[in-house]
Amino acid sequence: MSTDSLDKIMYSFVVDDVLKGLFIYVPPGYVACVYDLGRGVLKKVLTPGLHLKIPFWQKAKLFNVQTLEYSISRQFSLEHERALGDIPIAAVTQEGKRIGIEGTILLRLDIHQVPAIWQTIGEDFVAKIVRPAIRSRVRMVFSRFNYADIVGVSRADVEHELKSELERIFYSRGIFVENVLLSEISQIAASAPLKEKAE
């Protein structure tokens, strides 16, 4: 298995089909949701252990409910849209300086809302909801601060405000924001092109 494939599994909320037969094995740190051909996505969440399902009539999907790192760094590749993370986010400060932001956001799925997430958003909710929302909120929050404050005494304030903004968006969607940790904020030359793909 290549490193990219392993990263895709490790940093994703969703793991592909579990055993396709009669049993569903749910490992620690995961829950399973069941799609029933007659009733759709069942509201009951299967907790760690061994469970029965109807072969060929029910399909199970594992969801990681542990705390996961959404890493924003130069090492991340956007080739896998469902992978959990992003390249450095470009933003503009209050006084108009262009900056690149790197860091880590700790996220966790609400166990009780996993069926609703699968039903309403689907498996690729990282690409549909998480990444666009994080990019948007990062740019919005950083535009409220001066560069000197961001890299100095106000860094904790920036992290706190960003966490509050993300919680406001994600909480109703069943995603908890546990922490926001900024690691590097660097200035971008005015002539440097932005490498982010358009959302």
Q: How many whole angstroms separate alpha carbon 121 and alpha carbon 116?
A: 8
| Residue 151 confidence class, pLDDT cut points 50, 70, 90 | confident
Q: How many whole angstroms separate alpha carbon 63 and alpha carbon 111?
A: 9
Q: Considering the domain boundaries, does residue 198 fall inside one?
A: no
Query: What is the tally of structural domains in the chain?
Result: 2
Q: Which residue has the higher pLDDT, 141 or 8?
A: 141
Looking at every residue in the chain, the average pLDDT score rounds to 84
Residue with tokens 């994080």: 134
pLDDT tens per residue, range 22-50: 888 999 999 999 999 999 999 999 999 99
Q: Which residue has the higher pLDDT, 43 or 5?
A: 43
Strand partners, 35: 41, 59
| Residue 89 confidence class, pLDDT cut points 50, 70, 90 | very high
Residue range 104-109: average pLDDT? 95
Q: How many whole angstroms separate alpha carbon 195 and alpha carbon 192?
A: 9
Of 31, 64, 97, the position where a domain reaches its end is 64
Q: Considering the domain boundaries, does residue 154 fall inside one?
A: yes
3-state secondary structure of 159: helix
Q: Note whether 59 and 74 are same-domain residues.
A: no
Please report, in angstroms and rounded to a whole number, the separation of the first and last CA atoms in the chain: 30
Q: Considering the domain boundaries, does residue 111 fall inside one?
A: yes
Range of the domain at 7: 3-64
pLDDT tens per residue, range 163-189: 999 999 999 999 999 999 999 888 887
pLDDT at 12 over 60: no
Share of the chain above pLDDT 70, in %: 85
Q: Note whether 36 and 55 are same-domain residues.
A: yes
Q: Considering the domain boundaries, does residue 90 fall inside one?
A: yes
What is the structure's pLDDT at 86? 92
Q: Considering the domain boundaries, does residue 197 fall inside one?
A: no
Q: How many whole angstroms separate alpha carbon 1 and alpha carbon 17?
A: 18
Q: Note whether 103 and 51 are same-domain residues.
A: no
Residue range 118-135: average pLDDT? 88
The CATH number of whichever domain residue 141 belongs to comes to: 3.30.479.30
The CA radius of gyration of the chain, in Å to the nearest whole number, is: 19
- What are the strands, taking DSSP E only, across 80-174? 85-86, 89-92, 98-109
